Structures are given as structure tokens and as C-alpha cells.
Amino acid sequence: MIPVQGYTDQKVAVLGLGRSGIATARALREGGAIPVVWDDNAEARERAQTEGFDPVDLGKTSAWEGVAALILSPGIPHLYPTPNKYVSMAWDAGIPVDNDISLFFAGFATTEWDEFVTMPRVVTVTGSNGKSTTSALLHHVLQHVNRPSQLAGNIGRGALDVDPAIDGEVVVLELSSYQTDLARNLTPDIAVFTNLSPDHLDRHGGLGGYFAAKRRLFAEGGPDRAVIGVDEDEGRYLANQLATGKADDRVIRVSTKAKLTGPGWNVFVRKGFLSEYRKGRQTGSIDLRSIQGLPGVHNHQNACAAYAVARSLGLAPRVIEAAFHSFEGLPHRSQTIATKNGVRFVNDSKATNVDSAACALDAFENIRWICGGLEKEGGLGALTSHFGNVKKAYVIGRDAANFALGLEGLEVEICETMAVAVARSAAEAQEGDTVLLAPAAASFDQYDSFEKRGDDFTDCVAAL
């Protein structure tokens, strides 16, 4: 746990008592603050009470007396689509609104670091897609070389739940736009921007607001080094804003679409081969095609970003390559869960939007595609150009028939349930086929989360 600094004997309100909210309350208490906690959900309040916190209704004006700050959980919108009522009350009372990521950065460094030989480092990873895999892959590489490392943020533990740093340790934080948008303290040593595609637009008031939330990680804290995916205009813009010139190697550009060989520091993939160039000369390469845990171009982009950070931390290319080969991937993200009679079963339940589903469809051949669920804004039109590897689609979801209408040009079977879709796709699959769960939709019509959906797929495959 990272004790929160700067609020000794002061009341600090915590709104939202999920994983990060409870971790924040614990860290505040550990640092000598007086947490004032609240959640509109009665079950969440009961869980807080079991840990010794007494919920106080922040809807009452009297609850704000003497409160020094409001710490908002990331899942709670604060400004768009409409201001949160509790946040609005804090604004009116002149009380600063912050979040747990900000508290982490404010309290991570301690006087004990004066005795360290190698200063701890914080690496942050943000972007629309790939940030979880990039973060986990980097953490895996560090573990492979026995370098102390912790993985937290939007993956694994909450940021304030990590242990105090030891000599030479690296903390890898996956950060969503919800977490970067509000934080007052953002001071990573190395920051990664994977890519940008439309998502969470209601929460951020549009695409510009969404990008601005992610850009804060680079503009507010000024990391020592930035790893930037430049396959979208926003990434190109960000890299240009951060670099002082063509040869500024504080910015490492990453691409899966272009060969980057300028005078700076570049990492890119072409035809499955990762290449590193510095000052116009190649300094490293990895053949990614045989690495089962990193299938497809989207995972090759993740590999480029993790490679760039690992090189920034002083690791050699051959060491990084060896670590890549032992990476098994993350659950629900292009995860191979079984092979039966030459048929590969892949769980990519995390592919909840069109862009991530497109990446999955491009990563495999001879696909028996299980898709469907709660369709997101924008429809499925952008997927049409990625149907080339699909032999047949098996549609699930409560509104499977309507979803299927967006799959024009494909052979489609309406299955509705996961069990039927797995059974039908497996029965029709031939050696060399891939049965791929990549829903291109949210899960909430049938499941509590994409994880539950992926688990159901895995269970159905196991039942074969």
C-alpha cells in the first residue's frame, strides 16, 4: 500500500467504493487522513463498513464541512454528459476534486529512496486499444530478467494498492482516459501512447475531449521518455508536440504501418518483423511471427511499445525476444484456450468494439467467427473490409437477428446463446480453422462483463 501524503488529520471525501475507492480509503487512513466515504450503492457501503469505514451521505451539505478534497473513483463521470451532483457540490464549496492516480504520484517517492542505488521508475501506458497487453507484456519482460516489477492501475491492483518501491523497481501502470482525465499529479518516468479510436465519447464530450484526456499524461507531467504510436493523426501530432527536433530520442515512435528510419529513435513492424532504428541505423530486430502469445498486427504494435520501453530501461534485444516467447497473453485478449483436431479456439471477448474486433479478424485465417451482443454506436460498417478471413459468422445476443443484418456478405447463422454458437462452429470447423470469439459488441445484454462472456466461451469449449 502507498500511504497518501499531505492530508494528515484532514477529512478527505471518497466517492465510489469499488476496487479503487476502497483502496483509496485504506491508503488515506494509512497516511493519517480521515476518509469520508460514500457510494449510492448500498452493497458497496456495506462492504466499506466491514473494513471499518462509516459511510457519510455526501448529498447532505453538512457532510462537506471541513473536507479538504474529494477523491473520485474513475468509473464515475464528473463533467460529461452532465456534471455529477456530488462533484458539483464540491465545486460550489471550493473543494479540490482529484483521483487515486494523482494520490499515487504524490506519495510514491519517499525519503528511503535516498539509500537506493537505482531509483524506482514508473511506466504508464494509455491508449484506446492494447494498453492491457502492452502493460502485461512489459511486466512479463521485467520478471523474465528478474528486475523487481509491479503491475497495477486499470489492470490487476489499484495504483495505491502497490507495495512501496524497492531499489531498482519498475511500477507499470495501465491508465484509462477516466484515470488520466482528472489527476492533478501525473509524473511518470516513461509514458506510452498506443493508439486512438473513438470510445467513451459521451464521457469526454467527443473525440477531442477523449484525446485531450489521454494527452494530459504527456503534457502535464512531462515524462523523461515517451513511446508514441504514430499510426493515427493524434499520435503523430503528440509525437511532434513532444519532440524538440528530428533527432530527439526522448520520443520513440512506434508503427505497424510504416517503416520509420529517420534520425530519431524508431520501432516498427513490417511483415511480422520488429525493427529498431536509432540515428538512421538498425540496432535490433525480432521475428514476431512465431510468438503464439502475440498474434496479429495489433499485438505486434503492443510488442513494439513494450520493446521500446524495455530498451529505454537498458535491456538487450535478445533478452527481450526471449521474454516475448514465454508470454502467454492475457485472458480474453486473443487468448488461445484450446486446440482440438487441428482447430484453434481463441477467446478475444475483450474485442468489445469494431476496431478491436477488426484487429482480431485480421490476426487469424479460416475463421469461424462468434460475434454479437449489445451493439455500440456507429454500427458494423467499418468491419466489412475485414471479412476476408471469415468463413462463417455465428451470432449471439438477445438481438442477434438485428446484429446479423450488419454482416452483409457473410454466411451467417443466428445462434443467440454461446453454447449453441460454440457447438455449431466446432461441428463445422475443419483442420486449420480458428473458432474466434471476437464479439464487436458489449456484453451487457447477456453477461455482467466481457470477462464473464469469455469465461462462458471457455467453459463451452472445455465441454467439447
> Is 339 annotated as contributing to ligand binding?
no
Here the contacts of 359-362 (C-beta below 8 Å, separation 24 or greater) are 359/129, 359/296, 359/297, 359/298, 360/296, 360/298, 360/334, 360/436, 360/438, 361/386, 361/387, 361/389, 361/390, 361/436, 361/438, 362/296, 362/297, 362/298, 362/386, 362/389
> Is 326 annotated as contributing to ligand binding?
no
C-alpha–C-alpha distance, residues 396 and 378, integer Å = 19
> Is 132 annotated as contributing to ligand binding?
yes
Cβ-contact 118, 148 below 8 angstroms:
no
Here the contacts of 313-317 (C-beta below 8 Å, separation 24 or greater) are 313/121, 313/142, 313/147, 313/170, 313/190, 315/141, 315/145, 317/276, 317/283, 317/284, 317/285, 317/286
Burial letters 422-445, b for 16+ CB under 10 A, else e:
bbbbbeebeeebbbbbbbbbbbeb
Residues 6+ apart with CB under 8 A from 61: 89
> Is 133 annotated as contributing to ligand binding?
yes
Return the closest-CA partner of residue 357 out of 384, 324, 330: 384
Return the closest-CA partner of residue 347 out of 404, 295, 407: 295
Cβ-contact 404, 416 below 8 angstroms:
no
In the block, cell 515512435 appears at 253
* Residues that constitute the known binding site: 127-133
* Residues that constitute the known binding site for ATP: 127-133
